[in-house]
Amino acid sequence: IPGVVVDAAVSRQWDAGVALVQQLKAEHTLGAIVVIDLGTNGPVSWQQFTNMMEALAGVSRVVFVTVHLPPSYSWSASVNEVLQEGVVRYPQGRLADFNKLAEAHPSWFGADGVHMPIGGPGAQAMASLIKSQI
């Protein structure tokens, strides 16, 4: 996606993402369009979602990416529910439903059912999905 700036970290939790957004905003380096792909590493509450949206006040579009995890990750359904119900509460909110797309393509993922090869077909599909919501 041309012009995109990615700030990724292994095992980043939702609250750390909120703190990062606040830092980027304070530094005047937060873009007008922001993509949030968090929730794979733990549950997300309504309050945490609200905190993120408060931190993103003034952004013209926020794209949230649903999580795709094996059933043994008990929080994945609740994270996606928070994202799906949360985006409709904010006019700048959009949902990139990667979980729905990924359900049909288990071969995109490694043996753990969570991680995808960098640049592989799953990663390309995720990028295309996100781009469609931008």
Residue 18 is encoded by which pair of tokens?
Answer: 């909120």
- Say how far apart CA 57 and CA 43 lie, in whole Å: 23
Chain centre distance of CA 76: 12
Q: Please say if the pLDDT value at position 34 is more than 80.
A: yes
- Say how far apart CA 20 and CA 132 lie, in whole Å: 24
Residue 9 is given by DSSP the state -
Dump pLDDT digits (tens) for 80-115.
999 999 999 999 999 999 999 999 999 999 999 999
Q: What φ, ψ does residue 41 adopt, rounded to 5°?
A: -100, 10
What average pLDDT does this structure show over 18-22?
97
Q: What is residue 106's predicted lDDT score, i.e. its pLDDT?
A: 94
Report the predicted TM-score, pTM, of the whole model to 2 decimal places.
Answer: 0.94
What average pLDDT does this structure show over 17-21?
97
- Say how far apart CA 84 and CA 82 lie, in whole Å: 6
